[in-house]
């Protein structure tokens, strides 16, 4: 059984400097795991010649700083809209940005930050800059935050990928997908350009925002002691994470001090933590406080998971990793379900089900389309812990 501890978890408010004194050192120093070894990897060569200035980004629309109080007459939070995207996804990214600008950001004026594992091309930067209402920055992910670390046993990882391909598991053979999951789990909030921010709203290409967001979700969370916000919750594909929960149990047994009182274990498990029911928050939509990821509990948790190699030996996703951490290391009332934000990421849609909200928020979705109470959803398991 997982150990419970009625202990308050104080997340660290210390932040790394906004701009590193030596970006070159930042690019070459290892973050986690054993020191790189001399064994050649079957992976694509890691780039070594990127201009360090690309990490610090290129900002457009700098003449617009945004009104100090936001367009809606209230103060703004220390927050950014964040998208991880490839150059080839320009049209899909424009769709997502256009909708969120129309439904939310033209009223509130938050800056955008776009991250890529290769430099953004001119077309992407020009078209996206013309679309957004305020400052927008395009930056490169530090290579050692993205690529498979050298301490991973590539033979073992390759065998695992081949086995998943044979089982027809989605992204089973993709190293790039694993890189993305590991980056989103433990590195995005370490990017030097994110150090100036406390809050982020994760946005992905090719998503839809169906309702007007006329209340600032960042300020709502800040003023109500919320830390993590979601719109869709569902089951994970068990074959991608066979050893994740046993690893979580090991960590908690060794570090019971990090488990929050009144946590959301009842959402994750049917038997007090003996086994995992696969429920997680779909992390392609997240509004969250990065001080939680930067804090001691999550830092120790991620580094423990990362040391096991499960992001590459299996296909651990950032969604269950984030969800398990939030459910165990936060009080359940610090996690917020944004019912009023209509959201769609194919193939699932969340449409508000609070009476009157669809009309009030001018939603373009219909309640019958909502995924919330379908069989693969975990919404009922989320709601039960508050009864």
Catalytic residues: 286
Burial (0-12, 13-18, 19+ Cβ within 10 Å), 305: buried
- Cα 200-234-240 angle, rounded to 5 deg: 95
E-only strand ranges, 166-313:
199-202, 207-209, 228-230, 233-235, 279-281, 286-289
Rounded CA-CA distance 272/265 in Å is: 7
**Other CB atoms within 10 A of residue 365 CB:** 19
Query: Are the C-beta atoms of residues 343 and 286 closer than 8 Å to each other?
Result: no
Cross-strand bridge partners of residue 279: 235
**What's the half-sphere exposure (Cβ side, CA atoms, 13 Å) at 242?**
6
Angle between the 122-131 and 90-100 helix axes, to the nearest 10 degrees? 20
As a whole number of angstroms, the distance between CA 161 and CA 175 comes to 8
DSSP 3-state of 139: strand
* CB-CB contact of 359 with 345 (8 Å): no
The CA distance from 314 to 243, in Å, is 8
CA distance 242 to 141: 29
Strands 286-289 and 199-202: antiparallel
Structure tokens at 162: 């081949």
- H or E element that contains 348: strand 348-350
């Amino acid at each position: 059984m997982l150990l419970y501890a009625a202990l308050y978890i104080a997340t660290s408010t210390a932040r790394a400097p906004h701009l590193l004194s030596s970006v070159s050192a930042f690019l070459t120093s290892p973050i986690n795991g054993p020191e790189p070894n001399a064994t050649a990897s079957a992976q694509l060569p890691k780039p070594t010649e990127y201009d360090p200035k690309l990490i610090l980004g290129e900002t457009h629309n700098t003449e617009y700083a945004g009104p100090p109080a936001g367009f809606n007459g209230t103060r703004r939070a220390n927050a950014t809209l964040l998208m991880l995207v490839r150059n080839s996804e320009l049209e899909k990214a424009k769709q997502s940005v256009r909708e969120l600008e129309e439904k939310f950001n033209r009223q509130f004026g938050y800056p955008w930050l776009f991250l890529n594992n290769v430099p953004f091309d001119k077309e992407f930067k020009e078209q996206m800059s013309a679309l957004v209402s305020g400052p927008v920055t395009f930056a490169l992910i530090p290579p050692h935050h993205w690529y498979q670390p050298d301490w991973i046993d590539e033979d073992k990882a390759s065998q695992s990928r081949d086995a998943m391909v044979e089982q027809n598991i989605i992204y089973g053979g993709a190293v790039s997908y694993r890189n993305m999951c590991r980056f989103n789990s433990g590195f995005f909030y370490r990017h030097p350009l994110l150090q100036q921010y406390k809050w982020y709203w994760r946005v992905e290409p090719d998503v839809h925002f169906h309702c007007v967001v006329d209340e600032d979700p960042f300020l709502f969370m800040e003023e109500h002691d919320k830390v993590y916000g979601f719109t869709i919750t569902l089951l994970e594909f068990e074959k991608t994470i066979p050893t994740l929960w046993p690893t979580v149990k090991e960590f908690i047994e060794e570090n019971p001090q990090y488990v929050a009182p009144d946590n959301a274990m009842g959402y994750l498990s049917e038997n007090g933590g003996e086994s995992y029911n696969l429920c997680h928050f779909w992390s392609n939509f997240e509004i969250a406080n990065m001080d939680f990821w930067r804090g001691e509990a999550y830092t120790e948790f991620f580094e423990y998971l990362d040391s096991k190699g499960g992001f590459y030996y299996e296909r651990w996703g950032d969604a269950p990793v984030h969800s398990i951490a939030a459910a165990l290391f936060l009080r359940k009332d610090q996690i917020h379900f944004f019912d009023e934000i209509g959201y769609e990421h194919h193939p699932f849609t969340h449409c508000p089900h609070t009476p009157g909200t669809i009309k009030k928020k001018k939603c373009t979705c219909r309640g019958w389309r909502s995924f919330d109470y379908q069989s693969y959803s975990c919404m009922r398991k989320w709601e039960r812990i508050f009864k």
